[in-house]
Structure formats: structure tokens, C-alpha cells
Amino acid sequence: MTQTLPNSGNGKTTTGPRKALSPALRYVLRRLFQAALVMVLVMVGSFLLVKLAPGDMVDAMAGTRDLTADQMAALRERYGLDQPVIVQLLRYMALLVTFDFGYSPINAAPAMDVILNRLPVTAILVVCSVSLSMVIGTVFGVIASRNAGKPVDLLLSMFMLLLYATPSFIIAVLMMLVFSVKLNLVPIAGFESIGMGYTGLTRFFDIAHHLILPVTALCTFYIAIYGRIGRASMLEVLKLDFVRTARGKGLGEGRIFYVHALRNALLPLVTMAGLQVSSLFGGAVLIETIFGLPGMGRTAFDAVFQRDTNLLLGVVFVSSLVVVIVNFLIDLLYMVLDPRVNLK
Amino acid sequence: MTALLEIENLRIGQGNNAPIVEQLSLSVSRGETVGLVGESGCGKSLTALSVMGLLAGNLGVRDGKIRLEGDEIQSLPQRKLRHLRGEKMGMIFQEPLTALNPVMSVGVQITEVLRNHRGMGRAEARTRAVELLRLVKIPDPEARLDEYPHQMSGGMRQRVVIAIALACSPSLLIADEPTTALDVTVQAQILRLLKQLQRDENLGLLLITHDLGVVRQVADRIVVMYAGSVVEEGLVDEVLDNPRHPYTAGLIAARPSGSFAEGAARLAEITGSVPAPADRPAGCVFRDRCKQARPECEARRPALERAPTGHAVRCHFPLAEGSPA
Ligand SMILES: Nc1ncnc2c1ncn2[C@@H]1O[C@H](COP(=O)(O)OP(=O)(O)O)[C@@H](O)[C@H]1O
Ligand SMILES: [Mg+2]
């Protein structure tokens, strides 16, 4: 006897990742293609936007040394800036494929080198703050939901509201005043101690020491977000029918809470992590500035104000690439966490 | 027959509000199928949940006794009660589509019961899970174990829920409208399966439904509920062929496919709807909707009177035996 009835639950019956690999593979390939398309669109869009803005690379050069009109025209010709925009665009895209971002006049170096130099700073900052805030926030949220309505929940909710409402730069400055200036426990700014020639583990601890405050400052707001989403998500999941089934079969509250409910409640938190990466990568200008960290946000900021279009476009390219890759990974993680993910 | 489940004078309420279920008594013996019927909202599910000790946090058993094989459920510590669930009593719910955890495989959801109550190892539990899926007639059970609920149809999922409920061979099975959400053909299959399992495993089965046809098909006794309490109770044939409470007679008459009881169809359908717990009238709770209501019905609440045959009715003026109104 075979059931042929369609399940009316969530639309079409999908073939899960375990049963057949080919839909999963096709899904991955399709997502990769989408990602590539997004990258092309982002680059064409930002290139045109930059060209629309007044001033170009030669103007930026003219700001640092005196150039005659003839010299400027010669430079424009040399960099192809006298060509029609469409030609410039095609040339630029052709170079991009080889990861050549062109020359950065304000750094007097290839833009690629500048970016490769600064990428690790932001990468470390983002990876540390995302993982820390996600873990701490989720733990807070789960504890709060487990004790919903009790004093622990109220205390945690108040604490999270405080973190949520205080701008991170204020927290940054306060921490700096207390821990660096007053107590002298951590360095006040910078990514690492300059000129000490640290290597290996010593360098690792030196960098960690420098990043304690900026990472904490970037975490506070997101701890509150994860905490609130986690709490709400757990409480929502605990109302679902399958929790009653789990109780009905005599499982302990621990298993119901940490195995049955938590696995379902994690999904929105993973989505949030993707958003957080996207927003911190390049969006941490304020914190990077306060703590004197030469990161991507800082670099973009300088590039905009000094009309270094190549550097700006390079930063946009790398940031978008990271965001696209992270979102792709999040989708894959979703596939693992939720067997219902529609592979169509 | 010794009573497996005894509910005596149960009252369920929320805080100090009017009780939702009151003066409710019923019993289920080993090897017996009892059909619990009544319009939706009359308290059938709450009664079932109170037996399992699974009432929502805002509700509670305010009075009365629930005994399972002599153990008083309300006075058991949580840990003991947890062991009774799954070990001695299992429950099947109305919505098979949402009753299973969507992110855990069917196999894990069955084996965790066995590992929890029986301390089985992974392999042993898996072997037993395959047997269980075979018991509930799921084809190709080994392969099905690794599937997720969304890969199964509603009927298949309900079979899995039944397998979970029966995993530790309980003596009592409560099925709360187990087929309401399913297609008609699947309904019949599931009912047949339930009936067969009940016989083979000598289960006491409390089958909640609002379908009198289902009761006629599978139940030995019927308990008719109205607005939180029992209004009529007895052997299925006796009650359905010979309803003595006007409400039961109305339910029978309201059946789309006609009536079992000769003459019951002559009664008009019941008008109005079940009053909310706070709006139940004084005296007989059914009098607002009763064609036979007299002043007496307002003055005092009728008791559940039991005839020597076991046929019980809660009415001051029951329909005459043998010839309903
Ligand atoms: N958690 C709850 N809190 C308050 N009232 C409830 C709750 N659950 C159910 N009720 C009310 O109890 C009454 C009986 O519900 P229920 O037992 O589910 O009826 P049914 O006979 O349809 O299964 C309904 O009026 C319902 O609104
Ligand atoms: Mg119900």
C-alpha cells in the first residue's frame, strides 16, 4: 500500500539532500551562478556611480603635487580616462578578472596591495565579533526563554535592552577611558605594537590584546540582537505541536529544550549572522576610526574623501565578494540545519 | 474488565474563571475502545491532555481524580508522570503535519523514545523502530527511517506518530481526532489500523472524534460530552440506536448521511452553538438549545443517572426508551 497523497503541509514534497545528491548539486551551482551575476552587477553599478561623481584619479594626484593642465591631460590619456565611459568600463572589467584593481594614488601603490594589507584587519575583527556575539547572545536568549517571566529573564531582558540602546561608539569611548586611560590594561589604539618585531604566538597575543576593546564594542549591539531573536524564536518554537508530541512521549525537559526546540530556533539566528557579516564588513568605520584600525571601512572612507576611485572600487569589489561568499555559505548551512529547504 | 483509566468528577479550569470541564467521569478498560464525542470546544482535548498531564500552563485540574492502573496522576511527581507518558500511555494528535519535529529524521524521533524509556542502544532501538514502522504498515521501513517528516504524506506521518505512541507497548492509547485532518480514504485506513492495533495489543483506546460514524465503526462504548460534562454514556449500539438525551438525538439527526436511530431524524437539528464556559446557563447546560426544555430544567442541574444496563443520561426528561420523541 503506497501513499500517493500530496502533503498539504508546506507545498510540494521536496526531495531531501540525503536522498539524491543531484538536486543539491544543481542548487549549489545555481547559487554560484547567481553570486557571479550579483558581483558583475555590483561592479558595473559602482563603476558608473563613481564615473558620475565629479573628480577622477588625476584630480586626486593633482591634490598631492602640482600638475599643469597639460600634464593632467597626459595622465588622463595614459590611464585611459579620456576614453568614453563604456570603453573605460570594459577595460576595467577585463582587469578585474585578473584581480588587478589599478593604481591607488593616495597610497602610491597598487590598490590590490593596499586592500590585501587591510583585509586581514577587518576579517579578524568581523570573525571575532560575529562568533562572540552569536554565541553569547544565543546563550542569553536561551537562558531567558528557559526562565521566561522569571527574574533571570527580566534581568537579562533589561541588560539586553541597555546593550541594544547604547550606541557602540559610546561604549567604545567609555571602555577606552576606563580600561586604557585609567587602568592602563589594554592598548588605546592600533592593530598591533609597531616596531616590536613580534612573530608567531607572541604576535597573536599582541593582536588579541589590541582587539579586545574594538571587538567588544562591535559585539554589544549584536549580543542584544541575538539575545532577543533567540529568546523570541525559542518561545515561538516551544508553542509548536511537535513539542507537545515530544512531551507526550515522556522525554525530559532538557532534551525537549536543547535538542528539539533549539535546533529549530537556530534558523533565524543563522540568518542574522549573515546580515551581521554584511553590515560589519565595511560598516565598522566608526569603531575602526576610534581605535585607529586600518580596516576596510577606514580605507573606503579615505578613498571616497580623497577621490581615489580605484581604491574605492577595489574595496567595493572585495567587500561585495566577501558578503556574497558568506551568504552562499549561510545558504549551505541552512541546507544542513533544515532538511525542508526547498532546493528548487 | 478492570478499569485501566478512571476519571472521576474531573474539573479543569483556568485561574478563577468558570471551569471549562466539570463533573466529568469516564473509564476505559484494557482491551476496550471508548469513543468520546461532542461538538468542538466542549472540552474533549483538554480532558485527554489532563490524563497525559500535558495541560497548558495556564490551565489546571481543579478537582476530581484521574487514575491510571490505580496510580493517581495528579499526585505523582513530574518525574514519575514523565515515565508513565510513553511507557504506559501514548497519545496521537489531530494534526499529523505538525506533530513531528521538522528538522529531525523520523528514525531519531522513534528511537529516542526507546532509548529514553528502555535504555536501548542505538542499534537495538533502530531494529525495534523498523519493527514498529512495519507494525503500522509503512512500506520499506528501513529506508523510511532516514526520511524527514516533510518527505511523507499526512497519512504516513500519522502512522509514524502512532508508531511513536506505541513504541514502549503502552496499555492506554489516546487518539484525539486522529483522522480529522486526513483525506477520506486515508481516514479509513488509519482507523482500520488503529482498531487492529488495539485488538492485537489489547490496548485500552480512548478515541476522540466528532464523527458518530467512526464511533459506530470502532468503539465499544460511547461517551457523549456537551459543554464540559458527560450527558450520555453507554454501549455504542444502545446509545446510537436509542439516544435518551436530546443532545445525542440531535447529533445523530445532524449527521449528513442520515441517522442510525429510526425516528431520530424527525428531531430538528440542534440550533445555536455551544456556549462558552462563562456563558453556560444555570440548571441544565443544554436547556437553551433543547426543544424539550421545561421550567424544571432551569431550576436544577440534572445528575448523570445510570440505568441497570449501564446506559447513563444527564437529563430531567430523557427521551423515552425505544421510541425517541
Ligand atoms: N490553554 C487554554 N486556555 C484557556 N482556554 C482554553 C485553552 N485551551 C482550550 N481552551 C478552551 O477550552 C475549551 C475546550 O477546548 P478543547 O478541549 O480543545 O475542545 P474540543 O472538544 O474541541 O477538543 C474551548 O472553549 C477552548 O477555547
Ligand atoms: Mg480538540
Q: What is the pLDDT of residues B258-271, one digit of tens each?
A: 556 555 444 446 77
Q: Name, in order, each residue with C-beta under 8 angstroms of B64's C-beta and a sequence gap of 6 or more.
A: B7, B8, B9, B10, B11, B24, B25
- The grid cell for A53 is 561623481
Nearest to A248 among B91, B150, B189 (CB): B91
pLDDT confidence of residue A8: 41
Nearest to B85 among A5, A248, A260 (CB): A248
Q: Give the residue extent of every domain in chain A.
A: 118-337
pLDDT confidence of residue A226: 96
Which residue, by CA, sits nearest to atom 23 of ligand 1?
A: B45
- The grid cell for A244 is 507537545
The model's confidence at residue B23, banded by pLDDT at 50, 70 and 90, is very high
- For residues A245 and A153, what is the distance between their CA atoms, to the nearest angstrom? 26
Mean pLDDT of chain B: 89
pTM above 0.90, yes or no: no
Contact between chains at A8 and B154 (C-beta distance less than 8 A): yes
Phi/psi at B59 (5° precision)? -105, 160
ipTM of the complex in this document: 0.89
Contact between chains at B90 and A4 (C-beta distance less than 8 A): no
- For residues A225 and A134, what is the distance between their CA atoms, to the nearest angstrom? 9
Q: Minimal Cα distance from A13: which residue of B?
A: B151
Strands of the sheet with B89-92, listed across from one edge: B89-92, B172-176, B204-209, B33-37, B221-226, B229-235, B312-313, B305-306
B162: enclosing H helix or E strand: helix B154-166
Contact yes or no for A35/A325 (Cβ under 8 A): yes
> What residue type is assigned to position A148 of the chain?
A
Q: Name, in order, each residue with C-beta under 8 angstroms of B123's C-beta and a sequence gap of 6 or more.
A: none
A245 contact residues in B (CB cutoff 8 A): 93, 99-101, 161, 164
Contact yes or no for A311/A194 (Cβ under 8 A): no
Under 8 Å CB pairs connecting chains A and B tally to 120
Axis crossing angle, helix A111-146 with helix A296-305, rounded to the nearest 10: 130
- The grid cell for B189 is 485506513
Contact between chains at A249 and B90 (C-beta distance less than 8 A): yes
Nearest to A13 among B52, B102, B151 (CB): B151
DSSP B134: H
Q: Name, in order, each residue with C-beta under 8 angstroms of B129's C-beta and a sequence gap of 6 or more.
A: B107, B110, B111, B114, B141, B145, B163, B167
pLDDT confidence of residue B258: 53
- For residues A173 and A123, what is the distance between their CA atoms, to the nearest angstrom? 22
- For residues B118 and B104, what is the distance between their CA atoms, to the nearest angstrom? 20
Cβ-based burial of B183 (10 A; exposed 0-12, middle 13-18, buried ≥19): middle
Q: Name, in order, each residue with C-beta under 8 angstroms of B168's C-beta and a sequence gap of 6 or more.
A: B86, B87, B90, B113, B114, B117, B118
Give 3-state DSSP helix, strand, coil % of chain B, rounded to 5.
40, 20, 40
Give B182 or B13, the one with higher predicted confidence: B13
In degrees, to the nearest 5, what angle opens at C-alpha B169 toward C-alphas B164 and B173? 70
- For residues A112 and A108, what is the distance between their CA atoms, to the nearest angstrom? 12
Split chain A (344 residues) into runs of 10 and give each run's mean pLDDT.
41 46 79 89 89 76 75 81 84 86 85 91 92 95 93 94 90 87 82 79 86 91 95 95 94 93 93 90 84 88 86 90 89 85 64
Phi/psi at B306 (5° precision)? -105, 125
pLDDT confidence of residue A10: 43
Q: Is B20 a pocket residue for ligand 1 (Cβ < 6 Å)?
A: yes
- Strand B21-29, strand A103-104: pairing: unpaired
DSSP A99: T
Nearest to B155 among A5, A241, A263 (CB): A5
pLDDT confidence of residue A9: 41
Which residue, by CA, sits nearest to atom 17 of ligand 1?
A: B43
pLDDT confidence of residue B61: 92
Q: Is B12 a pocket residue for ligand 1 (Cβ < 6 Å)?
A: no
Alpha-carbon torsion (B109, B114, B117, B120), positive or negative: negative
Digit-coded pLDDT (tens) for B72-101 = 998 899 899 999 998 999 999 988 889 999
Choose, out of B49, B103, B137, B184, the residue to mutate when testing the contact with A (most A CBs < 10 Å). B103
Does A336 touch chain B if contact means CB atoms closer than 8 Å?
no
pLDDT confidence of residue B215: 94
Phi/psi at A185 (5° precision)? -90, -35
CATH number for the domain whose boundaries are A118-337: 1.10.3720.10
Number of helices (H), then strands (E), in chain A: 14, 2
Strands of the sheet with B59-68, listed across from one edge: B21-29, B3-14, B59-68, B71-72
CA distance B86 to chain A (A): 4
Q: Please state which of the ranges A25-29, B140-144, B163-167, B205-209 shows the lowest mean pLDDT.
A: A25-29
How much of chain B exceeds pLDDT 70, in percent?
Answer: 94
DSSP B266: G
- For residues A25 and A48, what is the distance between their CA atoms, to the nearest angstrom? 35
- For residues A339 and B100, what is the distance between their CA atoms, to the nearest angstrom? 13
- For residues B234 and B321, what is the distance between their CA atoms, to the nearest angstrom? 13
Choose, out of A2, A3, A266, A337, the residue to mutate when testing the contact with B (most B CBs < 10 Å). A3
Digit-coded pLDDT (tens) for B233-245 = 999 999 999 999 9
Query: Torsion over CA of A311, A314, A320 and A326, rounded to 10 degrees?
Result: -110
